Chain A
Amino acid sequence: MKKIGVFICHCGINIKDTVDVERLTIELENYPGVAYIENYMFMCSDPGQNHIQDAIRENKLDGVVVAACSPTLHESTFQAVLKESGLNEYQMEIANIREQCSWVHTDIEQATHKAKLIIKTAIEKLKLNESLYPVSAPVTKKALVIGGGISGIQAALDIADAGFEVIMVEKKPSIGGHMIQLSETFPTLDCSQCILTPKMVAINKHKNIKLYVNSEVESIDGYIGNFNVKIKQKALYVDPHKCNLCDDCTEVCPVLVPNEQEEGLSWRKAIYIPFPQAIPATYTLDLENCLGLEPIACGKCREKCTAEAINYDAADMIIEEEVGAVIIATGFDLYPVENIPEYGYGKYPDVITSLQFERILSATGPTGGEIYRPSDGKVPKEIVFVQCSGSRDPEHHLSYCSKICCMYTLKHAKLYKHKVHNGQPYIFYIDIRAGGKLYEEFVQQAVSEEGILYIRGKVAKIYKEGDKMIVVGMDTLSGKKIEIKADLVVLAMGIVPSEGSHDLVKTLKINTDDKGFLSEAHPKLRPVESLQAGFYLAGTSQGPRDIPDSVSQASGAAAKALILLSSDKIYHSPIIASVDEDLCSGCAICVGTCPYGARELNEVSKVVEVNEILCEGCGACISACPSGAAQQKNLTDDQIDNMIQIIASGK
């Protein structure tokens, strides 16, 4: 029989105050298999670990039970102790007598008895534990970055600069994301395009980066370190190598559609370049709005193109790539403004969204940076900004704070004052959230020097009277209902995960929270990793955040991906499913139950096989198997039976 050592931790007073550790030590001393037992104040401390090592050496122990806190905290600590002592780390079991015992009970008698049962089950399990060795696999030293906004750009550049290849996939015709649409950035008011375009150019020129625009990830198979990616690239009707950017095609195109890049404030043609600094710098033919690829229907652009860059016969392409790590940076969309009908967006041209106002402020925007309102082109003398449009309204809209709106609205008001000196901006707000470096100073300067009026309260409705927009709201500080006759109303819309993000999580089966934002592996300690191994998160796809935070997180995600890419092999826990070939009838019921696609029926031997790297050890196949052929390593039916018997006996 194995010689087992039992080490009971006091965890200071966390365990000791509720569980009588001295009595446990005496009562378990003669339990079959126990060759050594002791209790100590902090088993996880250096001296505590030394106790275990000494005991292993002096008593020639074969295995160790540590009765302490949850295995999520210190399992790896004690596994390392065994490894250093020359034992296999899977000959160590944790008996959780803290979270599952001392913390949730007050009666010392009962808690001590329960702790004893928990330790006995661990001993019984350990008796049948096999020595196991981590499963290993090679790593493809290449990363996929999904999304070409500032987060994706930063992550891609960091990985590429570290010497690894990057595949970047962007759905739109150019990279740049929302940031390229912005005018200036808070709190320094530096030009958004000026600081972003060098990074966009760097993506284009980097020898380690391959960029696919007008493309979407269709599927990702495989597992951490070894993903097979299928990318669908929309037909390239304009050959980027031949196109010389002469703009002749745009001139002859007879189709006008709202310009997405300008948030619908101006028009573009069906063949177009999204904006002057677009990367890649090439024209895109928008098939949805094009009159038809048949030359009979139109064909004007191809006739006109002297470079012969336009090819109507181009077709969608599927591109396959192999990568080791995936960074998801799929960004955000504005909360649908139609969901707030009382604000009259769509009904009144002078009620606009914050992104539309960014375009009006932008030097490259439809008004060349001059502030005119959409309905009649007049300079607005009074503007009302409505913060929390959609945010912080759990009853009707989003429950959460979109985090960036306080600051960008203030930036809007300031830039407006800088251009229309006698204009009056009003800002409706709930709170001003200015937690960030230099953010509070940015707010104070605006309030004391720029004459921006803050009104604490929500807007109830907006309607038109004459050529004025009447904004009806509440000033909660004076308790009065107020009405402002404004020339222009800007809705500081909340942000939600992008539409592309929704589609992608379905394809990749990536976890999200109830709002649709990607879930991090741990809210504090693993904020840039997904629970799905090999996937990393960057930017607003994970939650609302501003540019500095997005960039920091993107670099964090890149660093995590680089840990993986710079390893020669990845290792995986060996606590996974196995198949007893003699018992397996090949019914393949288990194949359907596996959520990781880790099981496959071998058509020749008619026995199910386990892909050890894909298997996460969830146990679904084991409960599904009708013949008992599927067993979890170190959690076999026999082990579980023995553990249940201890608990059921109550002794």
Chain B
Amino acid sequence: MKLGYFPGCTLKTNAKHFEDSAMQVMELLGQPLEEMENWICCGTVFSMTTDDLMLQLASIRNLLRAENQGYDELVTLCSMCYNTLKRAKEFILNDEENLRKVNDFMYREEAKFKGTTDVVHLLSILKDRITFDEIKNKVTKPLTDLKIGAYYGCLLVRPKELAIDDFEDPTIMEELVDTLGGEGVVFPYRLECCGAYQTVTEKDVTVKRTYEIINSARNAGCEALITSCPLCAFNLDQRQKETSEEFLEFSTMPVFYFTELMAIALGLKWNKDWKKLHYINPVPLLKEKGLI
């Protein structure tokens, strides 16, 4: 079984700490991630808003290249890449007409698209392949006394056909937190919309969402949030700046990628550069809990 890694745009820029931590964690768990060659934009979820085949081409080209490079599975860290690639694949493969048209259009590519490479999210690999029991054995610095809310947003669980867990009541990330010795807290707004791309044109919408989501987490006892989506992370973390300006009583909360906390719990060194990519400084909380 050959695993390929599809980074996507943000993992090389704003979410570099997501990629770095994931790479290190997977190395340590004996399943290193091998970046596929020649990848391009995943297509982003916009490609799924209409049934325009043209918009699926970016996703399909990535999958075709992964196929040609011999990968059985393509792992993504970013929830949106996971969602887009997987849905595009289903959309094209489940309709002969679509498949034919796409292949006709890509006649200059070296081979026809067959759809033999599966798209998998890293969380599924951790739970099903490596198993949480195995991870638990490797924890050297448990996240003791750290109460963490897992923020799923939409892309990991909807539509339900590609949900990585129960689409109404997922627990995979809370289980992971528990595995790392922390306390996974289920909070009401963990599946609410973060505001997504409204952050660009209607910033106020996102600010309100951030306010509600962080407050919901705080009321449930969370001290920090984890997520696997760079867009959610941007909205929930960076937008806390505007949220604090808009709502004076608002108190901030650090937001991590789940792999950052995994890295800490598995005894890897906290990289000081990661801090720069956080808006809300996570270091005081980590120090308070004796984790760095």
Encoded as 1 (CB less than 8 Å from any B CB) or 0, chain A from 460 to 483 comes to: 010101000010000000000000
A463 cross-chain contacts in B, Cβ below 8 A: 188
Q: Which of A341, A461, A465, A470 contacts B166 (CB 8 A)?
A: A341
Q: Which of A342, A465, A470 contacts B168 (CB 8 A)?
A: A342
Shortest C-beta distance, A342 to chain B (Å), equals 4
A341 cross-chain contacts in B, Cβ below 8 A: 166, 168-169
Complex: A461 Cα to B186 Cα, angstroms: 14
Interface residues of A in 310-353 (CB under 8 A from B): 340-342
Of chain B, the residue at the smallest CB distance from A340 is: B168
- B244 within 8 A of partner (CB): no
Q: Which of A342, A396, A465 contacts B169 (CB 8 A)?
A: A342
Complex: A470 Cα to B191 Cα, angstroms: 15
Complex: A463 Cα to B169 Cα, angstroms: 12
B188 cross-chain contacts in A, Cβ below 8 A: 461, 463, 465, 470
Of chain A, the residue at the smallest CB distance from B169 is: A341
B169 cross-chain contacts in A, Cβ below 8 A: 341-342
Encoded as 1 (CB less than 8 Å from any B CB) or 0, chain A from 436 to 480 comes to: 000000000000000000000000010101000010000000000
Complex: A355 Cα to B188 Cα, angstroms: 26
Encoded as 1 (CB less than 8 Å from any A CB) or 0, chain B from 168 to 181 comes to: 11000000000000
Shortest C-beta distance, A188 to chain B (Å), equals 39
Complex: A399 Cα to B72 Cα, angstroms: 38
A342 cross-chain contacts in B, Cβ below 8 A: 168-169
A465 cross-chain contacts in B, Cβ below 8 A: 188, 219
Shortest C-beta distance, A348 to chain B (Å), equals 11
Of chain A, the residue at the smallest CB distance from B167 is: A396
Shortest C-beta distance, A249 to chain B (Å), equals 43
Q: Beyond the given A341-B168, A342-B169, A461-B188, could you list 10 further A-B residue pairs with CB under 8 A, ordered by the A residue number?
A: A340-B168, A341-B166, A341-B169, A342-B168, A396-B160, A461-B191, A463-B188, A465-B188, A465-B219, A470-B188
Q: State how many residues of chain B have any CB contact under 8 Å with chain A.
A: 7
B166 cross-chain contacts in A, Cβ below 8 A: 341
Interface residues of A in 6-47 (CB under 8 A from B): none
Shortest C-beta distance, A599 to chain B (Å), equals 46
Shortest C-beta distance, B164 to chain A (Å), equals 16
Shortest C-beta distance, A386 to chain B (Å), equals 15
Complex: A432 Cα to B200 Cα, angstroms: 41
Complex: A463 Cα to B188 Cα, angstroms: 6
Complex: A342 Cα to B191 Cα, angstroms: 10
Complex: A460 Cα to B277 Cα, angstroms: 34
A470 cross-chain contacts in B, Cβ below 8 A: 188
Complex: A396 Cα to B160 Cα, angstroms: 10
Of chain B, the residue at the smallest CB distance from A347 is: B186
Q: List 13 A-B contacts (CB under 8 A).
A: A340-B168, A341-B166, A341-B168, A341-B169, A342-B168, A342-B169, A396-B160, A461-B188, A461-B191, A463-B188, A465-B188, A465-B219, A470-B188
Complex: A463 Cα to B186 Cα, angstroms: 11
Complex: A470 Cα to B189 Cα, angstroms: 12
B160 cross-chain contacts in A, Cβ below 8 A: 396
Complex: A461 Cα to B167 Cα, angstroms: 13
Complex: A552 Cα to B2 Cα, angstroms: 65
Complex: A580 Cα to B75 Cα, angstroms: 69
Encoded as 1 (CB less than 8 Å from any A CB) or 0, chain B from 115 to 144 comes to: 000000000000000000000000000000
A396 cross-chain contacts in B, Cβ below 8 A: 160
Of chain A, the residue at the smallest CB distance from B219 is: A465
B219 cross-chain contacts in A, Cβ below 8 A: 465
Of chain B, the residue at the smallest CB distance from A396 is: B160
Shortest C-beta distance, B88 to chain A (Å), equals 21
By Cβ-Cβ distance, the 8 closest A-B pairs, closest first, are A463-B188, A341-B169, A342-B168, A341-B168, A342-B169, A465-B219, A341-B166, A470-B188
Interface residues of B in 147-202 (CB under 8 A from A): 160, 166, 168-169, 188, 191
A461 cross-chain contacts in B, Cβ below 8 A: 188, 191
Complex: A70 Cα to B241 Cα, angstroms: 77
Complex: A470 Cα to B220 Cα, angstroms: 14
Complex: A463 Cα to B212 Cα, angstroms: 14
